[in-house]
Amino acid sequence: MMIQVENLVKAYNGQRVVDGVSFEVAKGEIFGLLGPNGAGKTTTMEMVEGLRTPDEGKVLIDGLDAVRKPNTVKEHIGVQLQSTALFDHLTTREIILLYGSFYREMRRVEELLASFDLEEKAKTLVKHLSGGQRQRLAIAMAVVHDPKVIFLDEPTTGLDPKARRDLWAIVQRLKDEGRTVFLSTHYMEEAEQLCDRVAIMDTGRIIALDSPAGLIRQLASDSVVEFVLERPEPAQTFRDLDGVKEVKQSEDGATVLLTDRLQDTLRRLIPLADEKKWDLLGMRTRTATLEDVFLQRTGKRLTDA
Ligand X SMILES: Nc1ncnc2c1ncn2[C@@H]1O[C@H](COP(=O)(O)OP(=O)(O)OP(=O)(O)O)[C@@H](O)[C@H]1O
| Residue ranges binding ligand X (CB under 6 A) | 12, 17, 35, 37-43, 186
**In terms of Cα–Cα distance, which of 147, 150, 171 is closest to 48?**
150
Residue 29 Cβ vs ligand X, minimum distance, rounded to whole Å: 21
Tell me whether residue 41 or residue 248 sits nearer to ligand X (CB atom).
Answer: 41
Cβ at position 301, least distance to ligand X in Å: 15
Dihedral angle computed from the Cα positions of residues 200, 201, 207 and 212, in that order, rounded to the nearest 10 degrees: 0
Contacts of 246 (CB under 8 A, 6+ apart): 219, 221, 257, 258, 296
Give me the least distance between CB of 284 and ligand X, in Å please: 28
Reading phi first (left if > 0) and then psi (alpha if -120 to 50, else beta), residue 212 is in alpha
Q: Which is nearer to ligand X, 12 or 102 (CB)?
A: 12
Least Å distance, CB 123 to ligand X, is 33
By beta-carbon proximity to ligand X, the closer residue of 39 and 59 is: 39
Shortest Cβ 294–ligand X spacing (Å): 13
Element (H, E) at 276: helix 262-276
Whichever of 142 and 262 has its CB closer to ligand X, that residue is: 142
Nearer to ligand X, 39 or 295 (CB): 39
Identity of the residue, 52 or 261, whose beta carbon is nearer to ligand X in the bound complex: 52
Cα distances (angstroms) measured from residue 14 to each of 2, 17, 45, 67 = 31, 9, 20, 21
Could you tell me which residues come within 8 angstroms of residue 229 by beta carbon, excluding any fewer than 6 positions away?
Answer: 255, 278, 279, 280, 281
Smallest distance from the beta carbon of 240 to ligand X, in angstroms?
38
Q: Of 55, 56, 59, 78, whose CA–CA distance to 68 is shortest?
A: 59
